[in-house]
Amino acid sequence: MSTAAELLVKCLENEGVEYIFGIPGEENLHVMDALRDSKIRFITVRHEQGAAFMADVYGRLTGNAGVCLATLGPGATNLITGFADANMDRAPIVAIAGQGATTRLHKESHQVLDLVSLFKPISHYSAMAMEAENIPEITRKAFQEAQGHNPGGAFICLPENIAGQTLDQAQEALSVNRSFLPKPTEASITQAVQLISKAEAPIILAGNGVIRNRACQDLMQFAERLNIPVSQTFMAKGVIPFSHALSLGTIGLQAHDYVACGFEQADLVICIGFDMVEYHPYLWHPRRDKKIVHIHNTPAEIDAHYGVSADVVGDIALALRDIAEYVRPKSHHNGDDLKRTIVSELDAYAQDAGFPLKPQRILADTRAMLDDEDILISDVGAHKMWIARLFRCEAPNTCIISNGFASMGIGVPGAIAAKLVHPERKVLTITGDAGFMMNSQEIETALRYQIPIVIMIWNDGEYGLIKWHQQRRFGRTGFIEFNNPDFVKYAEAFGAKGYRVNAADQLLPTLKQAFADDTVVVIDVPVDYSENMRLTEKLGKLLSQS
């Protein structure tokens, strides 16, 4: 006879779960014991937040729900940051937590919190298994909601006494059925065709939904056929290759840049797979003077700055093919002039010998080191803004940027998950010294499971992004300084390798050596963040000249 915990594991296997990231605890002992005989690989981490971030990035890269597990109380609450990040970034994730026995949930009790209510506001589904026989339904529902057309988070809570229950009769997992996206209505296609046909200066804003729906090739063919330039959000980097003639690169800075100049000149914005959380419309549509076509598998969000004239809901690829069939190509666009701006800036700094290194030089060497399909995981901080704007991305899901919840600390655990998904590719995380220290303990996890990743730390001894905002807003700074350990010795203390870059021309050979080492490597790179304000000034000049 089997236990409820064994039934849960059977249900997880039925959902195709490859990995569970988490930490054993007293209240999930039965689940941990059941996993010993499972084909699912349990990755024991050093902090539950790291587990959630690993599940987050796994879900984003695969489209299948990443799974993380913790015990009750503080174990479960430690999952929340990474779980919320996945939910807001539309990455499928299922979190499982133990809970105290049902016999003590009605009263104040050691480490007991109402976890279902705690996770409910940040998930699509949150439930507790009160009877063992309900586990197949709860598990199937959780994965269905997490992996749906609008993916995100689902939470399962399993009390310890329910987990240990012996089943009176055999229970089976429910069959897995994936739903298909509907074909957009003819009326919405007709509306979109009419608007695009009349537009004189249309621009495409591509969001991460294009990548999630595997419609990148369809987007590129749509843009080519209609001769319309494409901008992309931080989370959609690579949706169209940067090298493509119609690619404008990335929009998302809360300041005007060369891509924003393209929006200033547009009379129609075609938003494809765009979620409002990626880049709020008031930043690119402040005067509400443009027509908007929304093409997505979910209806447009209601917002004063996002008043759509056509809401094309359904399969994105089908929508793009249908619309392109009836619209004549545009005779011209202004994308070429805008594109030259960023290319010239990158080329100008590619050989800059300044030290500490300028962000442009670091990213030029990084791009030279990585193949098009290799993966860069960006942590959150000032470096994220530079990566989002200047890193030349040639393929989808090769530059992962958290931008909905935008939580620091995703870099190291995210890189671990990316390497598990794509062991054949080089995986690099670029992180700030602050973000690195938030989950640096997962270096030990990577070493224990022999997961070779390279961690590049942009070292400035400050909260650089906050300094940037303070300088822009007040012209002065405060409370942003801190001290760092010796990162080389810190890496070596774990058993990893550590390198420090002491001159600009050392970075590229150091990167080459780091990947050749085929282990966990930390590279300490002093960065010149005085470039932040120069970038802000340059963006303002670009707008005034547009």
Helices (H) and strands (E) in the chain, counts: 23, 18
Strand order across the beta sheet in which 202-206 lies: 247-250, 230-232, 202-206, 268-272, 291-296, 310-313
Cα distance between residue 45 and residue 128, in whole Å: 24
H or E stretch covering 500: strand 497-500
Per-residue pLDDT of the chain in tens (546 residues, 90 and over written 9): 699 999 999 999 999 999 999 999 999 999 999 999 999 999 999 999 999 999 999 999 999 999 999 999 999 999 999 999 999 999 999 999 999 888 887 888 888 899 999 999 999 999 999 999 999 999 999 999 999 999 999 999 999 999 999 987 778 999 998 888 899 999 999 999 999 999 999 999 999 999 999 999 999 999 999 999 999 999 999 999 999 999 988 887 655 555 666 788 899 999 999 999 999 999 899 999 999 999 999 999 999 999 999 999 999 999 999 999 999 998 776 666 666 766 776 677 788 999 999 999 999 999 999 999 999 999 999 999 899 988 999 999 999 999 889 999 999 999 999 999 999 999 999 999 999 999 999 999 999 999 999 999 999 999 988 988 898 889 999 999 999 999 999 999 999 999 999 999 999 999 999 999 999 999 999 999 887 666 555 555 544 454
Looking at the structure, tell me whether residues 254 and 361 fall in a common domain. Answer: no
- Using the 3D structure, point to which of 130, 163, 196 is the last residue of a domain: 163
Dihedral sign for Cα 507, 510, 515, 518, please.
negative
Cα distance between residue 233 and residue 263, in whole Å: 13
Looking at the structure, tell me whether residues 84 and 232 fall in a common domain. Answer: no
Looking at the structure, tell me whether residues 382 and 483 fall in a common domain. Answer: yes
**Rg for the chain (alpha carbons), in Å?**
24
Q: Is 173 part of a structural domain of the chain?
A: no
* Domain hosting residue 30, numbered range: 4-163
Q: What is the CATH number of the domain that holds 211?
A: 3.40.50.1220
Looking at the structure, tell me whether residues 405 and 284 fall in a common domain. Answer: no
Q: What does 88-147 look like in DSSP terms, one character per residue?
A: HTT--EEEEEEE--GGGTTS--TT---HHHHHGGGSSEEEE--SGGGHHHHHHHHHHHHT
Q: What does 210-277 look like in DSSP terms, one character per residue?
A: HHHTT-HHHHHHHHHHHT--EEE-GGGTTSS-TTSTTEEEE---SS--HHHHHHHH-SEEEEES--GG
- Assign 544 to helix, strand or coil: helix
Cα distance between residue 56 and residue 89, in whole Å: 9
Q: Is 132 part of a structural domain of the chain?
A: yes
- Using the 3D structure, point to which of 163, 196, 225 is the last residue of a domain: 163
- Using the 3D structure, point to which of 112, 131, 163 is the last residue of a domain: 163
**The pLDDT value given to residue 334:** 62
Looking at the structure, tell me whether residues 111 and 73 fall in a common domain. Answer: yes
Q: What is the CATH number of the domain that holds 467?
A: 3.40.50.970
CB count in 10 Å sphere of residue 375: 24
CB count in 10 Å sphere of residue 351: 11
User: Domains in the chain: how many in total?
Assistant: 3
Looking at the structure, tell me whether residues 362 and 453 fall in a common domain. Answer: yes
Q: What pTM value is reported for the model? A: 0.95
Looking at the structure, tell me whether residues 376 and 249 fall in a common domain. Answer: no
Per-residue tokens: 234:
């931080």
Q: Is 72 part of a structural domain of the chain?
A: yes
Q: Is 278 part of a structural domain of the chain?
A: yes
CB count in 10 Å sphere of residue 336: 12
